[in-house]
Structures are given as C-alpha cells and as structure tokens.
Chain A
Amino acid sequence: MSLLANGFTIVAVLAGLVFFVAGTAGLLRFPDTSSRLHALTKADHLGLGLIVLGLLPQVGGVGEAARLLAIWALVMLSSAAVGPMIARLTRGQEGAE
C-alpha cells in the first residue's frame, strides 16, 4: 500500500515539475506580457495542483492535507484576482507602443 502511495507521489510530483518547467519555458518564449501570464498562471496552477495531489498520500493527518489544499486554493485565488489586473494594465501600455 505504501509502495503504491509512494509511486503515486513520485509520478504526480514529477508531472507537476514538468508543468512548472513548461510554465517557465512559456515565460521565456511567449511574445507578449499577457501570453506570459497564461504560462505563469495556467501551467503553474496545474503543476502546483499535481504536486499537492502527489503529496496528499504522504501527509500525517487531515490538518496537513487541509493546509496543502488551502495553499493551492490561495494561489489560484490570488492569480485569478491579479492576472486580469496585470493583463488590463499591460494592454494599455503595449497598445500605445
């Protein structure tokens, strides 16, 4: 059972890292600020989500699991609030150039 849980953790965390790498690649490759925001929010959310999911079998109790899920929720909440704001601000600037 613990072998299965450990295997799940390794696979999910590695998959999460792939999406963090992809988000960083997007940050470097994408042509404009808003596209980079897509990379930083969407790919990294999925990466963080997979890492949180992968760590869940390793936690000691419900409290630690709740803490991990709360961190994921807070990251998504803050980027849902800030992402459109930055996109709005840069749209005015890049359009004016």
Chain B
Amino acid sequence: MAVAVFRFALLLLLWVAIAGAAPADLPVGAAGSAIGAWASLRLIPPARITPRPAALAMLVLRFPWQALRAGVEVASIALDPRRRAAPATIAWTPRLPPGPARDAFLAYASLLPGTLPAGEMPGGAIAIHALDGSTDVAAAMTLEETRFTRAFGLDG
C-alpha cells in the first residue's frame, strides 16, 4: 500500500509539473496518476532495492557527462565526411539475472555512449549493437553494469 501511495504521489507530482496545479484540472491528474500507479504495480512489482546514496549520486552525476560523450560521438561520425559508421553486433553476457533489474539496466545502457541493447540471443547472451565495433563494448557494458548494480544495491 505504501508503495502504491508513493508511486501515486510521484506521478501526481509529474502531472503538476507538466500541466500546472489549477484546481479544475487536478481531478484529471489524480485519476491519471491512480491509473498509472495501478499499471506500474502490475508491470513493475515492488522490489527490495537498497540504493547506496554515494554510488547512486555518482551514477546520476556521471550521466550528463555520458550523454555529452554519446552525443558528441554520434555527431562526429554523422557529420565528418571522412568517418563512416562501422557498426557491429556483439554478444554480451550480463551478470544480472533476467528480470526487471536487468531490463532497467538495459534501458539505461541504451542511453550510454556507443551501446544499444538489441534483445536476447540464443544461449542467454544479450545482443549489443555498437556504433563503433572496434571498441571493447563488452568490457564497457560489464563496467557500467557493476556501477549500476552497486548504485541500487542489487549485488547483495
């Protein structure tokens, strides 16, 4: 119940941020937030995560830098006529077991420089599409996975 109230409050906060806090609009926002909270409980059941504040702060603070690196990398390949994309799909084996935590990490990894998860391969590996196949994508993914699991306390 506490989780449901918490998610409802977060969604309502998002609603107010986007639509404003006019009293006439609030019932619509409250109804939308209630449906959203219900759907989120169905789709993402509450999990026991114990975030580590310092590691989580590092992850959040690094993100703008990662976004900058990712954007600059793509832009330089796209705009420099002498450079061509040399994409490659590599198999990478995650340490996180299948489940919401792994899905969350893969969604996060799609925002990181050079990597785009592209579904499971036979045998349990994850296909990672890399814009530049010459870099060690698997090592980078494992490093990011370690940072991610540490930040959310998923490594137990």
Contact = CB atoms under 8 A, between A and B. Distances in A.
Q: How large is the interface on B (under 10, 10 to 19, 20 to 34, 35 or more residues)?
A: 35 or more
Shortest beta-carbon contacts, A-B, top 9: A46-B71, A88-B119, A22-B75, A26-B78, A87-B118, A34-B129, A66-B17, A42-B70, A80-B107
A88 B131 CA distance: 15
A42 B89 contact: no
A63 B17 contact: yes
B1 to A, nearest CB: 26
Interface of B: 14, 17-18, 20-21, 64, 67-68, 70-75, 77-79, 84-85, 87, 89, 106-108, 110-111, 113-114, 116-119, 127, 129, 131
A43 B107 contact: no
Interface centre among A35, A37, A41, A69 (most CB of B within 10 A): A35
Q: How large is the interface on A (under 10, 10 to 19, 20 to 34, 35 or more residues)?
A: 35 or more
Decide if the interface of chain A is mainly helix, strand, loop or mixed: helix
B107 A46 contact: no
A83 B103 CA distance: 13
Interface string A61-97: 0010011011100001001110110011111100000
B107 A81 contact: yes
A34 B87 contact: yes
23 contacts: A19-B71, A22-B78, A29-B85, A35-B85, A35-B129, A35-B131, A38-B131, A41-B116, A42-B67, A42-B70, A42-B113, A43-B71, A49-B67, A63-B21, A66-B17, A67-B17, A70-B18, A76-B111, A79-B110, A80-B110, A81-B107, A84-B106, A92-B119
